[in-house]
Structures are given as C-alpha cells and as structure tokens.
Amino acid sequence: MSRNTSQRTTVSRRGRGIWRAFPKFFALVLSLAAAPTLAQYSRAPVPPGYLQIDLGGVLESGDQEAETGFLVGLRGGFNFTTTTSIEAELFRDEMTFDAGFDLEHTGFAVNLVRYNRVPLWNPYVLLGIGGLRFELPGDSDTEYMAHVGVGGQWDLTEGGMLLRAELRYRYSPLRSSLEGVLEDASPVFTVGLVMPLGL
C-alpha cells in the first residue's frame, strides 16, 4: 500500500468511532442547556472579562490509527451577564499517525458560552464557529469549523483564578489536493486556567 493510500485510508476513518457515542453526547449538551438558571449563585463576583490558557488533546477514536494529539490554546472572553459570555479563541494541535506523518491543525473560533451557576461549580454549554487549517507534508487547506461542547468551571481562589475542564466535538469539511476529502470530526478535551479581568 502506498503512503498516499495509507494516509487516505487512515485519515478518512477519523472520527467514525465517535458517531456511535455522539447521540449521548448531544443529549448531555441539551440537558445542560435546558437546566434552570434562576438561582444566580456565585461565590465571587463575575468579572467583565477574562483570559484563558488551554492545554489538552484531540482524542483518539476506536478506528483511528494515530496517537492522541496535543493541543494548546488561548481565549479571551467578555461576560454579558452572569450566565452568558462570548469568547474568541486561537488554538493549534498536532497528531502523529502510524503511517509516519504528522497532521497539524491551526484554528480560530468565536464561542457563545451559557453557564448554570450553582453551588460548588458552574457547568456550561458552548457553541462556536470559526475556521480550521490543516497541514500535511506538501499539502494544506482552510475551511469553516463548528463545534459544540460541555464543561465545568471551579474557583481556585476567592475572586481570582478559575479552573475549567471541557469536552467538545469539532467538525470541519477539510479537503486535500492529494487525498480528496480530509474531514475533521474529532472530540477535543481541554483543561484551562482562567484569569479574570476588570474586577
């Protein structure tokens, strides 16, 4: 099997295994989105804005012949209310395939975040759109991207830094001039350190 054929076979199967689990993931998103937000509990004032540094990974599915990719990201957000914020983010991730090549992604997104502020932690849902660029040896492409996610936020210090953990599903219809369709359909996990601004 040639290297191009191996790349096409391997990459085309990315994300196939998560489709079976996606209905449960989507149900979780809907249940959190519908959670009551009447009790506006927060142990600390909600800051006007924040910066967030993310570390995480692009998770491996059962059909994916690759190592789990490593991701770094940076976000800036503005809190419109105590339960709603909008944020912009930049990120980059890299995945190494068993065929011996690296698949790199660079992306940006604008996200709408909806919190349910309850005692002890703040669960939230996230919807975002943006752009995603992939890079392979001798090939690249840029396409639109959309993602949906759920997460939780915890206070690390009173009125100060926060910790976030998040799981999202990312989709982009990337195309390769060598391989044809190079669809990105990936679960992504991040842990973020949030620094409030404007308090």
pLDDT of residue 26: 53
pLDDT of residue 7: 45
pLDDT of residue 1: 44
- Mark residue 100 as left, alpha or beta (left: phi above 0; alpha: psi -120 to 50; beta: remaining): left
Residues of the chain with pLDDT under 70: 1-45, 60-68, 98-100, 159, 176-183, 199
Count of domains observed in the chain? 1
Q: What is the CATH number of the domain that holds 174?
A: 2.40.160.20
pLDDT of residue 32: 54
pLDDT of residue 140: 81
The predicted model scores a pTM of: 0.73
pLDDT of residue 37: 41
- Give the 3-state secondary structure of residue 44: coil
- Give the 3-state secondary structure of residue 138: coil
Q: Which of 46, 82, 62 is nearest to 187 (CA)?
A: 62
Give residue 135's domain range: 3-197
pLDDT of residue 137: 76
